[in-house]
Amino acid sequence: MKDELRNDISPQSSELLKTTRGELEYIQCCELLFKYYKETHESINPLSASFESFIDDIPNDVLYDKDKNGIKHVAFIEENEIAYVCSNDEATFESFLHAVASEMFLSNDFIYFEADDVDWCGMALKNLFTIEVPETFDTWLFEGKWM
């Protein structure tokens, strides 16, 4: 997958920052993700979890970028997976994602991620790669007694 990473993207102008669970910046990254996830998934699967329960399942490590106004891009990572991405600055997000992928390819031959078409950040991540991925439509059915 390393060979499929596009090389026509302008480099990020700042250095990637790192934080981990327990640090103030980690909570700030989680707050941005929670707000973003809630907004982007409202139409298909409204988020009903509290902030505290939401972050329980979020990976411990984050690559992020910030400016004078605060955190603007985040990528929650776990081993060779980019688990969650979000941003509040579409203009510079692609460069950030390219820096994240390049950083992860330093220690991994393959990286994994999921991209939903309701999530512009996830689709930006998908579009970093030249490989064609077929569209899939998955449906989950609940079989059992509700309440």
Q: Where are the domains of the chain?
A: 2-126
Protein fold of 2-126: Aminopeptidase (3.40.630)
Structure tokens at 36: 């973003």
Please report, in tens digits, the pLDDT of each residue of the chain (147 residues total).
Answer: 666 666 666 666 678 999 999 999 999 999 999 999 888 877 777 788 899 999 999 999 999 999 999 999 999 999 999 999 999 999 999 999 999 998 998 899 889 998 887 889 999 999 888 877 666 666 555 566 655
pLDDT at 72: 96
Query: Contact 113/125 with Cβ under 8 angstroms?
Result: yes
> In the chain, helix, strand, coil percent, each to 5?
35, 20, 45
Strand 61-67 to strand 70-78: parallel, antiparallel, or no bridges (unpaired)?
antiparallel
How many whole angstroms separate alpha carbon 6 and alpha carbon 18?
Answer: 23
Paired strand residues for 114? none
